[in-house]
């Protein structure tokens, strides 16, 4: 009986971190807004979706982009400017692995950074920095206009 009690207690402690963690966001199992999670396998691209949880139309970029009015993705010539609600940094680890996201075209205005290997399933509640530039303190949801790859967040 004592062994059974220890076994149940050990199983409970093992399961506790799983219950408390946000886990890895997956397209098949949408997650509630909880901040950054681990991105999908690296392929060198930054991904953005119109809806939360990698939903709806999407775009991806291999290089810097001055204006999100065009991209490669689910539709040819899709306009993602000021429409993104979830992001996934699938860049390769190393030099220029993080992504600076900007409020205005041409990498202008306030910014925020998405570290390499992270996925944000819901941009509502995530804000641009308070830095005195246009867009400071604004939600990132439906407000990203450009990006550039950087060496550090």
pLDDT tens-digit series, residues 70-117: 887 666 568 999 999 999 999 999 999 999 999 999 999 999 999 999
Question: Does 23 fall in a domain?
Answer: no
Tell me if 83 is assigned to some domain: yes
pTM greater than 0.85 = no
Q: State the DSSP code for 44.
A: S
Whether 17 is covered by a domain: the verdict is: no
Which range marks the domain in which residue 95 is found?
34-150
At 44-81, the pLDDT tens digits run 999 999 999 999 999 999 999 999 998 876 665 689 99
Q: Is residue 108 part of a domain?
A: yes
Is 85 a domain residue? Answer: yes
Name the H helices within 37-141: none
CATH code, 145: 2.60.20.10
Number of domains in the chain: 1
In a domain, 109, yes or no: yes
What Cα–Cα distance (Å) separates residue 125 from each residue in 47, 91, 93? 19, 24, 27
Length of the chain: 153
Q: Rounded to an integer, what is the distance from CA 40 to the centroid of its chain? A: 11
Q: Is residue 18 in some structural domain?
A: no
Does 74 fall in a domain? yes
């Amino acid at each position: 009986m004592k062994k059974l009690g220890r076994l149940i207690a050990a199983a409970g402690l093992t399961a506790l971190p799983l219950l408390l963690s946000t886990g890895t966001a997956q397209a098949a199992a949408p997650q509630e807004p909880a901040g950054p999670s681990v991105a999908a396998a690296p392929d060198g691209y930054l991904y953005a979706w119109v809806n939360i949880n990698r939903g709806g139309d999407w775009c991806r970029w291999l290089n810097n982009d001055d204006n999100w009015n065009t991209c490669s993705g689910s539709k040819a010539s899709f306009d993602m400017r000021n429409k993104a609600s979830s992001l996934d940094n699938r860049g390769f680890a190393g030099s220029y692995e993080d992504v600076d996201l900007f409020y205005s075209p041409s990498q202008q205005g306030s910014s925020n950074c998405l570290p390499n290997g992270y996925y944000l399933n819901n941009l509502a509640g995530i804000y641009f920095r308070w830095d005195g530039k246009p867009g400071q303190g604004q939600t990132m949801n439906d407000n990203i206009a450009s990006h550039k790859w950087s060496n550090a967040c």
